[in-house]
Amino acid sequence: MADAPKPLAPAWFEAAAALVRGLVARSRVPEDAGHAEDTLCWLERLRPDADWALRLAALAHDLDRALPDDLRVHREDFADYDDFKAAHAANSARVLARILHDVRAPTDAIRKATYFVLHHETGKPDDPAL
């Protein structure tokens, strides 16, 4: 069965995705680039109607791990693992917000994408998208 053609992405998505992919490609964790692409691929298979903000969040959810040491969150700085994961998600969301502002993404897309990244480690019981 052939996949349905992908809808044409808006310019802000293409620009942001290129920046995210560039960052993730430089990660010191070799699996990060594949993990980001796999997450996006699974989202597109499971939710072909997913909006562009959710697609970008899938690609960018672990941006923190690809940052230089002086900008990323470090596990050893947290006594509690859940606090570390929350800080990792928040840092990833901050980086994504900057990227989205730089490419002039719509305000609603910035809000949605950063919300999804911020909650990607824990989910939200009242939000089935997470």
Q: How confident is the model at residue 8 (pLDDT cuts 50, 70, 90)?
A: confident
CA–CA distance, 38 with 50 (Å, rounded to integer): 15
The yes-or-no verdict on residue 130 having pLDDT over 60 is no
Say what the pLDDT of residue 122 is.
Answer: 76
Contact (Cβ atoms closer than 8 angstroms) between residue 102 and residue 78 = no
- Mean per-residue pLDDT over the chain, rounded: 91
The yes-or-no verdict on residue 23 having pLDDT over 60 is yes
Residue 42, CA distances (Å) to 59, 86, 93, 119 in order: 11, 23, 20, 18
Q: How many CB atoms lie within 10 A of CB 13?
A: 21
Residue 52, CA distances (Å) to 13, 18, 27, 49 in order: 7, 14, 24, 9
- pTM of the complete model: 0.87
Say what the pLDDT of residue 78 is.
Answer: 92
Q: How confident is the model at residue 124 (pLDDT cuts 50, 70, 90)?
A: low
Q: How confident is the model at residue 29 (pLDDT cuts 50, 70, 90)?
A: confident
In whole angstroms, how large is the CA radius of gyration of the chain?
15
Q: Domains along the chain?
A: 11-118 (1.10.472)
Residue range 59-116, pLDDT digits in tens: 999 999 999 989 999 999 999 999 999 999 999 999 999 999 999 999 999 999 999 9
Say what the pLDDT of residue 121 is.
Answer: 73
